[in-house]
């Protein structure tokens, strides 16, 4: 396990700033004093084949999706010292889940820009030929100056054509599309669904299809008797924005937007940005 003061090649680890099931993220500096976020894999034993493959695959996808604006910046990845690491740009800010919990004013004052930039980040990933498969507020950072960064590419996969079944059900059920939960063939349109769930949540502070487990979430998705339209929760939501969100939340993936760029275009038109 990594520790404070540990040196990994030219990086010195200073403090742990986040931790997930597979890795820890550390604030680090290089010899010039520049700050970076260094993601260190927790289980780096000789037999951690699956974890290492997933970690490196996510790093390679992130590297392929660099755009300098909406995607967290990639620096390098591989083995440094005894650790398997991914070095990222360091940004000061919070993820959208934490901002929601704090009722941060940015989610009311600048929500149009946040939603468009969020969709634009997803567009970058899709344009590079990948589906993210873990689109949710927790994986979107907002910097102090309001810049948005999509993070965590561990689950990302190349977009299949035609759609195909995933090898395993990975991610957060609350943001998974019905076809995912039913273990049916999927493609990048699962990300559009997840963006729709996230947008609904960011605008209403409620989940469109709440549930304690995947089965409960799926039941609510399929049987929509309890579904509440976003404008019934927040009357300030423009009607056109509600229409866009509901299109992303179509149960039949063929009725959602075909590609993220169409969603971004309609969002900009709807919100006059």
Give me the catalytic one of 117, 134, 187, 191.
Answer: 134
Tell me how far CA of residue 251 lies from CA of 8, 254, 259, in angstroms. 47, 9, 16
Give the chain's end-to-end CA distance (angstroms, integer).
Answer: 46
Fill in the DSSP letter of residue 107.
Answer: H
Fill in the DSSP letter of residue 143.
Answer: E
Q: Are 174 and 210 in contact (CB under 8 A)?
A: yes
Residue 134 annotated to the active site? yes
**What is the C-alpha separation between 180 and 160, in angstroms, rounded?**
14
Phi and psi angles of residue 217, each rounded to the nearest 5 degrees, phi first: -60, -50
**What is the C-alpha separation between 163 and 217, in angstroms, rounded?**
22
Q: Are 207 and 221 in contact (CB under 8 A)?
A: no
Tell me how far CA of residue 72 lies from CA of 25, 133, 192, 208, 264, in angstroms. 13, 16, 20, 28, 19
For the annotated catalytic residues, the residue numbers are: 134
């Amino acid at each position: 396990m990594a520790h404070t003061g540990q040196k990994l090649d030219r990086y010195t680890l200073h403090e742990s700033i986040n931790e997930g099931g597979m890795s820890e993220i550390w604030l680090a500096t290089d010899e010039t004093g520049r700050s970076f976020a260094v993601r260190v894999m927790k289980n780096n034993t000789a037999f951690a084949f699956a974890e290492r493959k997933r970690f490196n695959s996510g790093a390679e996808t992130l590297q392929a999706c660099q755009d300098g604006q909406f995607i967290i910046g990639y620096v390098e990845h591989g083995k440094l010292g005894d650790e398997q690491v991914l070095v990222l740009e360091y940004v000061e800010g919070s993820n959208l889940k934490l901002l929601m919990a704090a009722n941060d004013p940015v989610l009311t004052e600048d929500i149009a820009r946040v939603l468009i930039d969020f969709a634009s980040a997803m567009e970058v990933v899709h344009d590079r030929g990948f589906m993210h498969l873990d689109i949710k507020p927790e994986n979107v950072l907002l910097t102090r100056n309001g810049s948005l960064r999509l993070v965590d590419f561990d689950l990302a996969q190349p977009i299949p054509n035609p759609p195909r079944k995933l090898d395993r059900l990975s991610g957060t059920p609350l943001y998974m599309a019905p076809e995912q939960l039913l273990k049916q063939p999927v493609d990048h349109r699962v990300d559009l669904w997840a963006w729709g769930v996230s947008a609904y949540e960011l605008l209403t502070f409620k989940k469109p299809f709440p549930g304690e487990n995947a089965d409960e979430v799926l039941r609510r998705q399929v049987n929509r008797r309890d579904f509440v339209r976003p404008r019934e929760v927040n009357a300030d939501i423009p009607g056109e924005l509600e229409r866009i969100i509901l299109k992303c939340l179509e149960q039949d993936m063929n009725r959602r937007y075909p590609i993220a760029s169409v969603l971004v275009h309609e969002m900009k038109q709807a919100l006059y940005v």
